[in-house]
Amino acid sequence: MSEYLGVEVNIASNDPEHLEWLQAAAEGRLVLQQCEACRHLRYPVGNACPFCTSLDWEWSEVSGKGTIYSYGQVMHPIHPAYREHGSYAIILVELDEQREYPTADDGLRLISSLVDAEGNPEPESRVQIGARVEVEFADLGDGLGLPRFRLSGEAPEGEVWSLPS
């Protein structure tokens, strides 16, 4: 059985895309679907290309490096699995690949968690828009993994910003 924070992870049998995505994560690879027609990478996982509607795609491994594009701070966890963590951030990571493409406002953005070296949520004081991050993977067991992100220690490209405390 696969689980995350004590909660069973079930992938529907008619959802091979998400299953393969989580299996790649278990192998330490962050993969995204790449359209075989227009060659755009995309996320979230789905059947059709949002740019050209083609149903033909293949997995493409990406670096897992990116920047926190935005974030929200959950002050009162609504799921029991997060009870022990109290407040935690949900981050939107813009990957380095395909930034500002196909338009200046586009990018590959993943919703994820920001965790420390032990895999626990980083405190709010360490979550900043503009901070550089890199992917890491939680082991869910039974051949599945979950991409998450940690601060990479790289200098930000511009100014960083966070909610006033």
Binding-site ranges for Zn ion (CB under 5 A): 35, 37-38, 49, 51-52, 54
Residue environment code for 13-30, b if the CB has 16+ CB neighbours within 10 A, otherwise e:
eeeeeebebbbbbbeebb
Instruction: Considering the complex, state which of residue 31 and residue 35 has its C-beta at the smaller distance from Zn ion.
Output: 35
- SS3 labels along 17-62: HHHHHHHHHHCCCCEEEEECCCCCEECCCCCCCCCCCCCCEEEEEC
Q: How far is the CB of 67 from Zn ion (least distance, A)?
A: 25
Which are the contacts of 100, defined by CB distance < 8 A and separation ≥ 6?
Answer: 106, 107
Instruction: Considering the complex, state which of residue 7 and residue 52 has its C-beta at the smaller distance from Zn ion.
Output: 52
Locus of tokens 């002050």: 75
Coil, strand or helix: which one is 81?
A: helix
Instruction: Considering the complex, state which of residue 38 and residue 163 has its C-beta at the smaller distance from Zn ion.
Output: 38
Q: How far is the CB of 52 from Zn ion (least distance, A)?
A: 3
Instruction: Considering the complex, state which of residue 34 and residue 128 has its C-beta at the smaller distance from Zn ion.
Output: 34
- How far apart, in whole angstroms, are the C-alpha atoms of residue 8 and residue 154? 35
Q: How far is the CB of 65 from Zn ion (least distance, A)?
A: 24
Q: How far is the CB of 103 from Zn ion (least distance, A)?
A: 15
Instruction: Considering the complex, state which of residue 35 and residue 129 has its C-beta at the smaller distance from Zn ion.
Output: 35
List the structure tokens of 79.
């799921």
